[in-house]
Structure 1
Amino acid sequence: MGGTEAARRGGLIGSISTTYHKILLNPSYKYLLLLLGAPVNLVVFLFYLVQRRKDDYTAAENRIRSAMLASGYLEALQAEIAQQQKRKHEFFKQKISEQQLQQEVERIAQARFKEELRDRTTKELLLNNKKRLTMADTFDRLIANPLFFIISLIPGLLMYILIFLYRSPYLKYIVERLAMTILVIFGVAVLVFTILYLSPFNPAANILGETATPEQIAAFNKMHGLDQGYLTQLWNNIKGIAYFDLGKSFSGNEDITNSIARKFPITLTLTVISLIIAIAIALPIGIISATRPNSFFDYTFMFVALIGLSIPNFWQGLILILNFSIKLQWLPATFNPENWLSIVMPVIVLGTGLTASVARMTRSSTLEVIHEDYMITARAKGLGKQTILMKHAVRNAIIPIITVIGLQFGGMMGGSAVTEKVFNISGIGSYIVDKQFIPDIPAIMGGVVYTAITISLVNVIIDILYAFFDPRIRSKMKQY
């Protein structure tokens, strides 16, 4: 039992050491590693300084330096450089004092001497199958001691977490995408706030009305922090978003976090249902069209898809209400969470454009791969048509389809405001539209940023799906 535990711990230590070496060679992560594990790395650096004085490289360097100095190498080098510098200055007709020339010669000679010393020392170590001690080597020696590893766990916890994440290409890939997502969300927050801050609308005047006195407007601005500077307001808004505490809205004095918590799921539900139904319809249509190009089915499906792309959401919604609600009275004209039939028309409106886009992309992407060499090879092997289509054609054609789905999802989240207005849906889209003309800065910031968070997370999922479906991406992840 003890031997197994020791072997397991040894494997862990070896993995940590190997990953530590790799990270130090990666400029993007090197300084992050040193920063997160600053206390541990400081101890390692101090040990490194002590051990470097008596390592093989230092001993060889001292011996070779003494031999070079004893042989008069430095003096000969200085004399050679002095002649070169004199000829150079004479050629360019430059006047230089003897003292300046001597300083110049000394500087160049020392640099060349050090370079030659380094080259000779490195060659000797290579011949003797030795290498120069590095900070990573010192870390290896220290981490091999179980006591040091245990003591360093607390001060170096963040560093070890980074090492753990770096060990797994997939985890590292996901964390990198999440980190970029945070930067994107931060950028969106800054951009949206800046636009609202510079907008000509006056929240106090719009809410209090034309009869408001300057004193009332000033009191309103002070109460909501609008009398503060740009950076102060920006910081307060970003801090509120980070802590999920957006405060009160300017109009209605409602808690913004609770409002978004009520409205955002409605928009997200509509979008996700539309997405699922659209994919379920579009993928088979696109594949059938690709396998039967220039046929009646192909022309019919693509013509319908083109119509779907051309129809504006608001017009389609009004036509559906006119026919199915007013004339036929089959479906309710407005959204009601308690009546599942009320979701049918909004889902159709939101999903029409996505269905058309995905169907067209599926067709073109499948057509592109269906004549590749590996498809011919699969047929030559005698594989069934269904196997070739699903395992080889669709799997290789799925990457651009996933891209379109991800982009369209973002468009649906942003474009849902029109659909929500048409069907009187109290979602995040209509909420932002209602608040933007005040402008109710905290409410708009909350709605836009949390929409951006959702879209960014979907894009992270899309990136992960890339790696899942495409082995080339997985291979690059392991190399990176």
Structure 2
Amino acid sequence: MSIGSFIVRRVGLGLVAIFGVSVLVFLFLHLIPGDPVDQLAGGDVQPEQRAAIEACLYLDQPKLTQFGIFLGNIANGTLGHQCPNPEDKPSVMARIVEVMPYTIELALAGMLVAVLLALPLGVIAAVRRGTWVDTLAAVVALSGISIPTMLMGPLFVVLFFIYLGWFPGPAEADEPFALVLPAVVVGTHLMAMLSRMTRSSLVDVLSEDYMTTARAKGLPSVVVLLKHGLRNALLPVITIAGLQFGAMLSGAIITEKVFARPGLGTLLLDGISERNYPIVQGTVLVIAFIYVTVNLVVDLAYGLADPRIRRA
């Protein structure tokens, strides 16, 4: 299969998956008990206001018509409008585009923290396996996985913002160094997974015959380890990193909430709490698109990491 055919096939499957997600989200939103009008306008809404909000959300139309309108909003690129008072608010896509840079910023910073910590930790643990260094690396990794984000975030706020005052606190997203604490919180959990995966994969690679051959040729140990060992051990690491990066791009909801940062996760959570159908449908659709795109990029990255896959 050529690279072009592979990409076309994966894009086609991705579009089918996105459409399926859109159908499921639409159905679930309309099956969940509760009245979105009460959430958007409050419990004392007047009949005229109720009718206006229902018209804005197209709740006065048949379900099939509502789904057709939703598909039309996808086709025109707006993903719908915000209710109530859509004339005073940007479209759902404009709202997503407005908050997306904050999520991308957090995801890239978290991934950078994770990779810078995980790869050296995993390599050292693999090379010194069975020693106290390996044990210490395992303790660090398990600690990163075990401590929930909902606990680590407030702890960091209390320690580094309230007591030490080293970094900006919540709701200060535009301050210098405001990204440090949320990036460390997001990256620490991913670092733990990546370091253990790097260690496990590299231990298997170090016992392969081609590693022995490379050493027998007299190549420097660092070259053998990094060029022949680590590169061939990266495939499972790339998989985990890619999927987790997709998760971070879709919105680190807890971290964004703890640090009061705008972002895709915060937008989705606010839309759910308000039962704002256009916001929820549009945000979930963008999240599904992000996952499909990241998975395609991960598959293509396999060929860069392993020439055997690229030749195949």
Query: Which TM-score band (shorter chain)?
Result: over 0.9
Give yes or no for the alignment of 1:285 onto 2:121: yes
Deviations 1:38-78 (A, max 9, x none): xxxxxxxxxxxxxxxxxxxxxxxxxxxxxxxxxxxxxxxxx
1:225 to 45, 55, 58: 58
Give yes or no for the alignment of 1:394 onto 2:227: no
Give 1:214 shift.
Answer: 5.1
Give yes or no for the alignment of 1:440 onto 2:285: no
Contact 1:313/1:350, CA 8 A, preserved across alignment: yes
Give yes or no for the alignment of 1:462 onto 2:298: yes
User: Aligned equivalents of 1:278 and 1:245: distance in 2?
Assistant: 35
Taking a change above 3 Å as real, the CA distance of residues 221 and 251 of structure 1, as seen in their structure-2 partners, is: closer
Q: Residue type of the partner of 2:275? A: P
Taking a change above 3 Å as real, the CA distance of residues 415 and 314 of structure 1, as seen in their structure-2 partners, is: farther
Give 1:405 shift.
Answer: 0.5
User: Aligned equivalents of 2:70 and 2:292: distance in 1?
Assistant: 20
Give yes or no for the alignment of 1:177 onto 2:10: yes
Let me know the Cα RMSD of the aligned residues: 1.9
- 1:249 aligned partner: 82
- 1:410 aligned partner: 246
Contact 2:251/2:264, CA 8 A, preserved across alignment: no
User: Aligned equivalents of 2:192 and 2:98: distance in 1?
Assistant: 31
Taking a change above 3 Å as real, the CA distance of residues 391 and 463 of structure 1, as seen in their structure-2 partners, is: same
Taking a change above 3 Å as real, the CA distance of residues 193 and 331 of structure 1, as seen in their structure-2 partners, is: same
Contact 1:225/1:233, CA 8 A, preserved across alignment: yes
2:43 to 206, 210, 214: 210
Q: Which has the higher helix share?
A: 1
Give 1:235 shift.
Answer: 2.4
Give 1:227 shift.
Answer: 1.9
- 1:240 aligned partner: 73
User: Aligned equivalents of 2:142 and 2:207: distance in 1?
Assistant: 25
Aligned-partner SS, 2:240: helix
2:180 to 333, 344, 362: 344
Give yes or no for the alignment of 1:382 onto 2:215: no
Give 1:444 shift.
Answer: 1.0
Contact 1:251/1:440, CA 8 A, preserved across alignment: no
Unaligned runs of 5+ in 1: 1-165
Aligned-partner SS, 2:232: helix
Unaligned runs of 5+ in 2: none
User: Aligned equivalents of 1:176 and 1:206: distance in 2?
Assistant: 42
User: Aligned equivalents of 1:336 and 1:231: distance in 2?
Assistant: 44
Give yes or no for the alignment of 1:373 onto 2:209: yes
User: Aligned equivalents of 1:334 and 1:247: distance in 2?
Assistant: 31
Deviations 1:301-337 (A, max 9, x none): 1111100001111211111111111111111112434
- 2:307 aligned partner: 471
Contact 2:250/2:290, CA 8 A, preserved across alignment: no
Aligned-partner SS, 2:170: coil
> With structure 2 as the length reference, what TM-score do the two structures score?
0.92
User: Aligned equivalents of 2:295 and 2:176: distance in 1?
Assistant: 29
User: Aligned equivalents of 1:276 and 1:210: distance in 2?
Assistant: 46
Q: Residue type of the partner of 1:398? A: L
Give 1:225 shift.
Answer: 1.0
Contact 1:203/1:250, CA 8 A, preserved across alignment: no
Give 1:289 shift.
Answer: 0.8
Q: How does 1:76-225 map to 2 (within 5 A)?
A: 169-213=2-46, 216-225=49-58
User: Aligned equivalents of 1:366 and 1:278: distance in 2?
Assistant: 18
Identical aligned residues as a percent? 39
- 1:56 aligned partner: none
Taking a change above 3 Å as real, the CA distance of residues 380 and 171 of structure 1, as seen in their structure-2 partners, is: same
User: Aligned equivalents of 1:272 and 1:241: distance in 2?
Assistant: 27
- 2:106 aligned partner: 270
